[in-house]
Amino acid sequence: MTGAAFAAVVLAGVLAACGSGASSGGASSGAGGAFPVTIAHKFGSTEIPAEPKRVVTLGYTDQDPVMALGVVPVGTTEWYGEYPGALWPWAKEKLGSAPLPTVLPTADTVPIEQVAALKPDLILSLYGGLTQADYDLLSRIAPTVDQPQGVQDYGIPWDEQTRIVGKALGRSEQAEQMIGDVRAKIDRTKAAHPQWAGKKVITAGWFKEQWYVYSSKDPRGELLTELGMTVPAEFDRLAGDKFGSYISLERADLLDVDGIVWVTFADGEEAAIKSSPGYAQGPVVKQGRALYISSEGRNNLDPMTGYITVLSLPRLLDALPPQLDAVLDGNPATTPPAVAPSS
């Protein structure tokens, strides 16, 4: 039996076990008049016939706009951080008295049986990378919405993500208000820091003993450009249709930019970056043009490691500017200020 056939057999069994009844979920009433709605995406289009009550988020950050719009998912997906319910502090504060979502594991293959066992009536994978086979199986469980056509895997902009979630939940007006509020804060931050305009700044990480630079189409790089900075076109060319590209240690010259925001995801990565050949003695280090952010930092810079969402951006925009000022001021002696711990 092929893998696809086995998955179909397992899925059929799980669906039968689920039955037709569904327990109450985290959605509140009041959006019924917005339905049915149809949402176009990479694999075609999906009709959502009624207001979703049991939402499962497979996209790594999709829980944030869902929570922002007043719905607690019944299932979320662990990316990193290992917070209960896969809810980071900015999302957990929206939880109220609702139960924590069931956390699905990060895996190369979607945990189809576990998704089906949650009896969802909506599955979201916007900040994700579903295959056609995954989508076909998930669509047999519940209406499934993937990223829009033309958007790279793990690259949907925060505002587009929020807008699609708003439509899927029947809360488009609320979503647009939230987008407008965050967009206004981005604009105010940019206006307050004209010295950032045109500065060449990149976000980068350390993977497989190499540098990895995120393109301007990645949410991290996109935020830098929204704030007036520039991600050099060379990195977009190298990334192609991906959200970033590995950079050989022999090309340290590419890292000679006005500023680098390094994001790390495991112990030892920051030390490896700082000691990597061609970097440690380079101008970025000598002139203090680098900012190091850990995914385990437990502070208000945490969103910069990847959670660029409608919920996390307001606190990131409070914490990031003085850090960038310290990196971009041209003074190697300037030390980035301490940041508030996340709560």
Using the predicted structure, report yes or no on whether residue 5 has a pLDDT greater than 80. Answer: no
Query: 291: which 2 tokens?
Result: 């900012």
- CA-CA-CA-CA torsion for 85, 87, 88, 90, nearest 10 degrees? -140
Q: What value does the mean pLDDT take over residues 176-190?
A: 98
Which of the four CATH numbers 3.40.309.10, 3.40.50.300, 3.40.50.1980, 1.10.1380.10 does domain 3-179 have? 3.40.50.1980
Percent of the chain predicted with pLDDT > 70: 90
Per DSSP, the three-state class of 261 is strand
Q: Which of the two residues, 3 and 233, has the higher pLDDT score? A: 233
Instruction: Over range 211-220, report the average pLDDT.
Output: 95
Q: Model pTM?
A: 0.89
- Comparing CA positions, the residue from 228, 234, 226 lying closest to residue 257 is 234
The pLDDT of residue 335: 87
Closest C-alpha to 178, from 338, 313, 42: 313
Residues of the chain with CATH 3.40.50.1980: 3-179, 193-328
**Which pLDDT value is given to residue 24?**
36
With a cut of 80, say whether residue 188 has pLDDT above it.
yes
**Residue 296, pLDDT score:** 78
Consecutive H or E run containing 77: strand 75-77
Question: What pLDDT is attached to residue 295?
Answer: 80
- The number of angstroms, rounded, from the C-alpha of 281 to the middle of its chain's C-alpha atoms is 33
pLDDT (mean) for 190-213: 96
Nearest by Cα to 141 from 110, 164, 163, 168: 110
Report how far residue 96's alpha carbon sits from residue 319's, in angstroms, rounded to the nearest whole number.
Answer: 25
Architecture of domain 193-328: 3-Layer(aba) Sandwich (3.40)
Name the H helices within the chain: 3-18, 63-68, 89-92, 112-117, 132-139, 158-169, 172-192, 219-226, 233-239, 269-275, 283-286, 313-328
pLDDT for 341 equals 82
- What's residue 324's pLDDT? 97
Reduce the DSSP state of residue 48 to 3 states and report it: strand
| Positive or negative: CA dihedral 292, 296, 301, 307 | positive
Q: d(Cα 34, Cα 127) in Å, to the nearest integer?
A: 24
